[in-house]
Amino acid sequence: MELIEKIILALPSIIIAGIVAYIAYQQYEINRQKLKLDLYDRRFKIYSAAIALVRFANEPFLDERYKDITEKIDNEFTDHLSAAYFLLNREAFNTLEKISQEVRDLASAMESRLSTVEKSNQLQGSNTEECKDLNNDRRKWNSKIESIRQSLSKTRRINSIFLPYLYFRSLYDDHNRTK
């Protein structure tokens, strides 16, 4: 009889402990899923910034706007690149760094082409040898700009480095595999 009384007295404590353990486990699962979702969100922002930068760099605009490209990198992409160092693997970070450098090279090439065209316009009709050299320089810059833009237009490389991080269904699939 005493044993039954002790069991009856201990039963509410055991039930409460079980409920607390269940709630703690659910809190753990919720926090784990929230962390995954937060990481997904941060990585998606980096992805969006990279795509936006590449699209912006590929827009047709005058060489006079080369500063807009460097401002876009400095004002909008540098912070995302810094975050990518911690949120992505080294290969992904290095690819983003390379893209950033290509965009900077594009701005530099546009600035150089603009300078060449301005010098050519100033020498119009004077020294023909110097004009020929400037025209050759302009063609060289045109070729370099086209080459950089072709390289930047390959957004598949951005998509491929982000695929493991932005496969949204994996958030749910990982959750089901643990149960």
pTM of the shown model: 0.77
Share of the chain above pLDDT 90, in %: 37
Distance of CA 47 to CAs 5, 7, 179, Å? 63, 59, 31
Question: What pLDDT is recorded for position 32?
Answer: 93
Question: What pLDDT is recorded for position 178?
Answer: 44
Question: What pLDDT is recorded for position 91?
Answer: 92
Measure the CA–CA gap between 141 and 138, rounded to whole angstroms: 5
Question: What pLDDT is recorded for position 179?
Answer: 43
User: In the chain, where are the structural domains located?
Assistant: 2-178
Measure the CA–CA gap between 127 and 130, rounded to whole angstroms: 6
At 96, the pLDDT band (50, 70, 90 cuts) reads very high
The encoded tokens of residue 98 equal 């390379």
Torsion of CA 92, 98, 101, 103, to 10 degrees: -80
Q: Give the residue with greater pLDDT, 107 vs 19.
A: 19
* pLDDT (tens digit per residue) in 47-65: 999 998 888 888 877 777 7
